[in-house]
Structure 1
Amino acid sequence: MIQRIQTVFLFLVAVAMILVVLFPIWQQVNPDQTMMLTLTAWNLEKIDIQTQQVIESEGKFFIGILAIIAAGLALFSLSQYKNRTRQMFLNMINSLVMVVTLALIIWTSHQANADFRPEANGAFVLGFWAIFGGMIMNLLSNRFIRKDEMLVRSVDRIR
């Protein structure tokens, strides 16, 4: 049923993955405070802090595409409330997509940091932490879907 708690969790997964697309994921500032490296879901930009102009930009569109796929899977899973096993399967695939997205973000930020300022780590910002929120909401929705499925099976057994 659409009015169950897992519907709210699946909607929050989609919101969290849209936050990944909209907000920066990782930032690093060089020691003399003149340049900043910013990773978003679409590109990696080297920005001059004084003028706020982009000096160099490298496309990282695969992160944005995976985040949009994860949001779409969450919304599609939300609409599959009549078939709970399919819904759990879609959530499992969505978890895998989010883990791959997270791994690509960590790998990309590590590579960028090695070239820019290897002695210090950058800071992960809202876009990065939204993925973890989405993963937790996805796990919670799967838990409640499984709980509903067990309840339906136990009622069928009683009949």
Structure 2
Amino acid sequence: MIQRIQTLYLLLSIGIMTGLIFVFHLWTNSEGQQVYAKDNYLYLGFFVASAVLSLISIFSFKNRKSQFVLGRLSIILNFILLGVFVYQSLNLSGETNVSEKGIGMLLPIFSIVCLVLANKAIKKDEDLVKSVDRLR
């Protein structure tokens, strides 16, 4: 069952949460330095934890209920990370020194979309197995 579509969605989420955080900056501070997720251990921890939950979810394909729960936990973790980013962006000074928000702040949104699609496919598989079990 590793070749299912939800595995592709989960792999895409892992790629977003681990690979792209080193490519795209989160914001530019008032001194003109770009801030990446690797610069702050809190953000890096959230990104890595979400990727690890998705990786564990890939390899728990035999237990679809736990796979679904792990996907939901990863979605919740991404929403928390998104909330931290929104809070941080509202606290960035925007008066005299202009601070730019980077595309890295949108990475949790892309990951949430992939995780929702994966959970939808997992739910579809679970419903299919339940319908076949009813026929026996």
Q: Give the alignment's TM-score, normalised by structure 1.
A: 0.77
2:110 corresponding residue in structure 1? 133
* Percentage of identical aligned residues: 28
SS of match in other structure, 2:114: helix
Correspondences of 1:69-148 after superposition (within 5 Å): 69-111=49-91, 113-114=92-93, 117-118=94-95, 122-148=99-125
Residue segments in structure 1 that go unaligned for 5+ positions in a row? 44-59
Query: Which structure's residues are more often strand, by fraction?
Result: 1
SS of match in other structure, 1:36: coil
CA positional deviation for 1:39: 2.8
Query: Which structure's residues are more often helix, by fraction?
Result: 2
- Is the alpha carbon distance of 1:103 and 1:20 closer, same or farther for their aligned partners in structure 2, counting shifts above 3 Å? farther
CA positional deviation for 1:122: 4.2
2:2 corresponding residue in structure 1? 2
CA positional deviation for 1:38: 3.0
1:62 corresponding residue in structure 2? 42
- Is the alpha carbon distance of 1:77 and 1:6 closer, same or farther for their aligned partners in structure 2, counting shifts above 3 Å? same
**Partners of 2:84 and 2:43 in 1: CA distance:** 7
CA positional deviation for 1:141: 0.1
Could you list the per-position Cα deviations for residues 23-56 of structure 1 after superposition, in whole angstroms to 9, with x for gaps in the alignment? 311225x6xxxx325332133xxxxxxxxxxxxx
1:25 corresponding residue in structure 2? 26
**Partners of 2:127 and 2:98 in 1: CA distance:** 46
Larger radius of gyration: 1
CA positional deviation for 1:128: 1.8
2:126 corresponding residue in structure 1? 149
Runs ≥4 in structure 1, deviation > 3 angstroms?
118-124
SS of match in other structure, 1:127: helix
| Count of aligned pairs | 135
Residue segments in structure 2 that go unaligned for 5+ positions in a row? none
Q: CA RMSD in A?
A: 1.9
SS of match in other structure, 1:42: helix
Q: Give the alignment's TM-score, normalised by structure 2.
A: 0.88
